[in-house]
Chains A and B, each alone.
Chain A
Amino acid sequence: MNYLTIQQAIHDRAASDAAGATLRGLLGGASSVFTKERLAYVAAATTLPWLVFSGGPVGGASGDMRDCQISWWAYAAPAAGATPLLNIVSALDALYGHANAYAITGGRMEVAFIGQVFRDDKLDLNGVEVRVVYHQRG
C-alpha cells in the first residue's frame, strides 16, 4: 500500500469513518475537520474546536521498517480552557491507540506523541498536537 493511501486512510478514520463519530462530536461541526493547507483559508466563522490534518514524513529506506507519520492538530478558543482539547486528545488516542485493534493491512498503527497544550499566537487559539505513526516493512 503506498503512503498516500495510508495517509488518506488515517485522515478518513477521524474525518469521515463511522469509528470517528465520537471524535467528530467533540468538534464544531462537519466542516471543522480540514487539512493544514486549508488553514489559511478557513473562514473565521468555522466553528471551533477544529481538527487540522498535517501529512508528515516517511522515514526509513526501502526494505527496512518504514514509518509514515501524520499529525492531528486540535484547536479551541482560549476562553474554553484546556478541557475541549484534552477530550479530543482522548478521542484520538482511542481512535488510533496501540491497544486499539485497528490497523491498515500489512502494518501497525499507534499514537506516537501527544504534545502539551500550547498557545498559537498566529491563530489566537489554544492547540495541541497528536502524532500518529504507521509502521510498515519495505
Chain B
Amino acid sequence: MSIDLSDIFAGLAAFERKVLDGAAQGLAGAAAGITLDMRHTTAHGDVTGATRANYTAYQVGRGRDGSAELQYAISAVEALNPGHTAIEPVQIDAEIGVILTSATDYQDKLETENAGQKAVLGPTLASSLDRLTRAAADGSNRALS
C-alpha cells in the first residue's frame, strides 16, 4: 500500500512560507521604526546633516535585498556631504534579517572613538534585538491568523 503525502508536504511548505513572509513583514515594520530612531539620535552632532539623514535599518530576504534603502542612504550622503560615501558588501547566512547601516566613510570612527562615545549603530542594535524578535513573531502570528 502506498500513501500519497504530497498534500501534507504542500501544506507544510505553505505554512513555512506564511511564517517567514509574516516574519519578514514584521521585521520590515520594526526596521522602519529603528530607522527613525537612529535619524533622531543625540549621540553626536551633525554639521552637514548627512550622518543622521542616512542612517537606515532595513529588512532583507524573502525577495527584498534592501537596495532601495541603501541607495537612499548613499544619496543622502552624496547630497549633504559629497565625497564621504563608503559601503561594503555583506552576506547574511539566513532566510531573513535586518541590517542597520550608515553609508558614510567616517561611521567606523563614530562607533569606536573615545570608547564609542558617539556610537549609534552598535547601541541601537543592542537595544533592538528583543524588539526585532517580537516583531518577527508578531508578523508570523498575524500571517497565520
Contacts and interface: CB of A to CB of B under 8 A. Distances in A.
Interface stretch (A63-71, A86-94, A103-111): A63-71
Interface string A112-131: 10010010111100010101
A120 B112 contact: yes
Interface residues of B, number: 18
Task: Name which of A59, A66, A118 has the most chain B CB atoms within 10 A of its CB.
Answer: A59
A73 B129 CA distance: 22
A36 B117 contact: yes
B142 interface: no
A133 B117 CA distance: 19
B114 A67 contact: no
A54 B112 contact: no
Contact of A120 (B114, B122, B133): B114
Given A64-B134, A118-B108, A121-B109, A57 B127 contact: yes
Given A57-B126, A67-B130, A39 B116 contact: no
Interface string A45-62: 000000010101111110
B116 A67 contact: no
B114 to A, nearest CB: 5
B134 A129 contact: no
A40 B109 CA distance: 17
A120 B113 CA distance: 5
Contacts of B82: none
Contacts of A131: 122, 126
Nearest to B126: A69
A59 B114 contact: no
B64 interface: no
Contacts of A129: 112, 116, 122
A121 B110 CA distance: 11
Contacts of B115: 36, 39, 52, 54, 71, 73, 127
Nearest to B133: A65
Interface of A: 36, 39-40, 52, 54, 56-61, 64-67, 69, 71, 73, 112, 115, 118, 120-123, 127, 129, 131, 133
8 contacts: A36-B115, A36-B116, A39-B114, A39-B115, A59-B130, A66-B130, A71-B116, A131-B122
Closest 4 CB pairs of A and B: A60-B130, A57-B127, A59-B127, A73-B115
